[in-house]
Amino acid sequence: MNEITLRLSKASAAPLFEQLYAYIKKEIKSGSFSKNEKLPSKRQLAAALGCSQNTVQAAYNQLVAEGYLVSRAKSGYYVAPLDGILSLGAARKTPAAQDTETVRYLYDFSHQGVDFESFPFAAWRKLTKEVINEYDRDLLKTGDPKGYPPLRAGIARYLHHSRGVSCTPEQIIISSGTEFLLQLLIQLFGGGDVYAIENPGYEKLSMIFKSNRASYRSVPLDAHGLRPGALSESGANIVCVTPSHQFPTGRIMPVSRRIQLLNWAGEKPDRYIVEDDYDSEFRYSGRPIPSLQGLDQGGKVIYLGALSKSMSPALRVSYMVLPEPLLAAYEEKLNFYICPVPTIEQKVLQRFIDEGHFERHLNRMRNLYRLKREALVAAIREMLPGAELDGAPAGLHLTLRMPGGADEAALVQKAKARQVRIYGLSRYYSERPEAGYPNDLLLGFATLSIDEIPKAVDLLRKAWENP
């Protein structure tokens, strides 16, 4: 019998039984005990260690529960046969090396993020306090898998009123980010589908389809958006578009092109249109462009929306509207996925919408972003003569082309040297266009203040002026 040479410490934070348990376990794992070896009786060990038999009993019980010891009736405790335990070797420690971007930018024309000063903290805080003060049992239960029904009703009303989307609350599914909604859609459609994506377009789409082993084709754009001829030739049966404000070109798809798409979808039962209405809340001249979904009479459009632009990307709330024929399939196949948005947040958001805060916030932000866009356009016109602007007066970004075929990468690099971050449009191409990349730049203006915008453009001027 292997001798147990442990000294139990009453000063230790660990109870005596745990010290004994840990010691024996370590000895077994290190091979100091042979398999089937008998352990000392409780009485013997308690006497040797100067502890109570209960302490030994507790340690032995734990080791039996974990399978290190086996207990044989009227005989005692034995080391379990643990073949292979010796082969486990020593623990590794490999701290991950970090290779992070260390450039500090003064100004970042990111198209992500929102105005930092304008989040409706007061209302959000008040509603959050209200919700968590209610000791509400719903806050502890797994709720409706499609999302909190009153929130879905609020979103349905908002979409009807503001986006011309025609739907019932039952058709709405709430999730966290477009990427999660697309995963659900891919699973809803099953395999065998071919998706068409805009080229250039939202850069995550190709990653999501690739990662989910779904086929996709890049379809080029013309001035009106996705080219219908190229769509037909692509062999795709599900097309993803951003008709209200194409990302990244900023163009609006006219109704004629929308109808072409709807008619294309109507030609075959397995054809669908995924409409990503990511920043449609913001249009600065006239009314917002109504959704494509509102034109659809054939149940062919899946509408995606999010609060990333209108509220904050950190809220992680997005939603989709399924046409009736797909809704039944969703409920049959995918209702086991539980809405990832916490119930507290869903309740806060529902009140935020129902009490009119959302609409007021949108109106306020629309005015603010209009001023920012005007400041950016004015600064470019003044300081970067010859620059061509593209994109409708809408959304939170525009695109810029410098005269003389200036190289995109060089422009980005020179701006970086002045600590201004801008983004080349080439990164949004899932496939290189035949004519090569157009050397366009994307400038988001939501996160910069109105004062910062001309300063940032002035730095771009300095960065790009001839040496």
Q: Which of residues 32-71 bind a second copy (CB under 8 A)?
A: 58, 61-62, 65-68
Stretch that binds a second copy, among 183-191, 410-418, 420-428, 434-442 (CB under 8 A): 183-191
The pair of structure tokens assigned to 141 is 């239960």
Q: Residue 79: phi, psi to the nearest 5?
A: -70, 130
How far apart (Å, rounded) are the C-alpha atoms in residues 118 and 114?
Answer: 8
Strands (E), 41-180: 69-72, 76-79, 107-108, 172-175
Among 38, 43, 161, 204, binds a second copy (CB under 8 A): 204
Which residue(s) pair with 401 in the sheet? 388, 440
- Residue 11 interacts with a second copy (CB under 8 A): yes or no: no
Q: Name which of 9 and 297 has its Cβ closer to a second copy.
A: 297
Minimum CB separation from a second copy for residue 156, in Å?
A: 13
Place of tokens 């389809």: 209
How does 267-288 read in b/e, with b if 16+ C-beta sit within 10 Å? eeeebbbbbbbbbbbbbeeeeb
Among 74, 84, 101, 268, binds a second copy (CB under 8 A): 84
Minimum CB separation from a second copy for residue 170, in Å?
A: 5
Peptide bond just before 200 cis, omega within 30 deg: yes
Q: Name which of 197 and 253 has its Cβ closer to a second copy.
A: 253
CA-based nearest residue to 398, from 377, 378, 382, 381: 377
Stretch that binds a second copy, among 119-127, 271-279, 375-383, 452-460 (CB under 8 A): 119-127
Among 2, 32, 212, 449, binds a second copy (CB under 8 A): 212
Which residue(s) pair with 240 in the sheet? 197, 274
- Residue 439 interacts with a second copy (CB under 8 A): yes or no: no
Stretch that binds a second copy, among 38-46, 131-139, 273-281, 374-382 (CB under 8 A): 131-139
Q: 359 CB contacts (<8 Å, ≥6 apart)? A: 158, 162
How far apart (Å, rounded) are the C-alpha atoms in residues 262 and 41?
Answer: 81
The pair of structure tokens assigned to 415 is 């701006």
Stretch that binds a second copy, among 5-13, 209-217, 364-372, 406-414 (CB under 8 A): 209-217
Q: Name which of 52 and 413 has its Cβ closer to a second copy.
A: 52
Stretch that binds a second copy, among 2-10, 208-216, 374-382, 403-411 (CB under 8 A): 208-216
How far apart (Å, rounded) are the C-alpha atoms in residues 278 and 291?
Answer: 11
H helix or E strand, kind and range, residue 220: strand 215-222
Q: Which of residues 274-333 bind a second copy (CB under 8 A)?
A: 285-287, 289-290, 295-299, 308, 312-317, 324, 327, 333
- Residue 228 interacts with a second copy (CB under 8 A): yes or no: no
Among 8, 48, 82, 194, binds a second copy (CB under 8 A): 82
Whether residue 340 contacts residue 175, with contact meaning beta carbons closer than 8 Å, is answered with yes
Q: 235 CB contacts (<8 Å, ≥6 apart)? A: 194, 217
- Residue 104 interacts with a second copy (CB under 8 A): yes or no: no
Q: Name which of 18 and 359 has its Cβ closer to a second copy.
A: 18
The pair of structure tokens assigned to 11 is 């000063």
Minimum CB separation from a second copy for residue 152, in Å?
A: 12
Q: Name which of 1 and 65 has its Cβ closer to a second copy.
A: 65
- Residue 19 interacts with a second copy (CB under 8 A): yes or no: no
From residue 145, how far is each of 139, 148, 329, 385 by CA, in Å? Answer: 14, 8, 15, 54
Among 140, 405, 436, 466, binds a second copy (CB under 8 A): 140
- Residue 467 interacts with a second copy (CB under 8 A): yes or no: no
Among 5, 75, 87, 102, binds a second copy (CB under 8 A): 87
Which residue(s) pair with 175 in the sheet? 318
- Residue 101 interacts with a second copy (CB under 8 A): yes or no: no
Helix 149-163 crosses helix 357-383 at what angle (to 10 degrees)? 50
- Residue 150 interacts with a second copy (CB under 8 A): yes or no: no
Q: Which of residues 345-404 bind a second copy (CB under 8 A)?
A: 345, 392
Stretch that binds a second copy, among 231-239, 257-265, 364-372, 427-435 (CB under 8 A): 257-265
- Residue 73 interacts with a second copy (CB under 8 A): yes or no: no
Q: 424 CB contacts (<8 Å, ≥6 apart)? A: 408, 409, 411, 412, 437, 439, 440, 441, 442
User: Which amino acid is it at 31?
Assistant: G
- Residue 266 interacts with a second copy (CB under 8 A): yes or no: yes
- Residue 170 interacts with a second copy (CB under 8 A): yes or no: yes
Stretch that binds a second copy, among 1-9, 247-255, 362-370, 401-409 (CB under 8 A): 247-255
Minimum CB separation from a second copy for residue 17, in Å?
A: 8
Dmax over CA atoms of the chain, in Å, equals: 96
Strands (E), 348-422: 388-390, 397-401, 420-421
- Residue 268 interacts with a second copy (CB under 8 A): yes or no: no
- Residue 161 interacts with a second copy (CB under 8 A): yes or no: no
Stretch that binds a second copy, among 262-270, 356-364, 375-383, 399-407 (CB under 8 A): 262-270
Radius of gyration for the chain, computed over Cα atoms and rounded to the nearest angstrom: 31
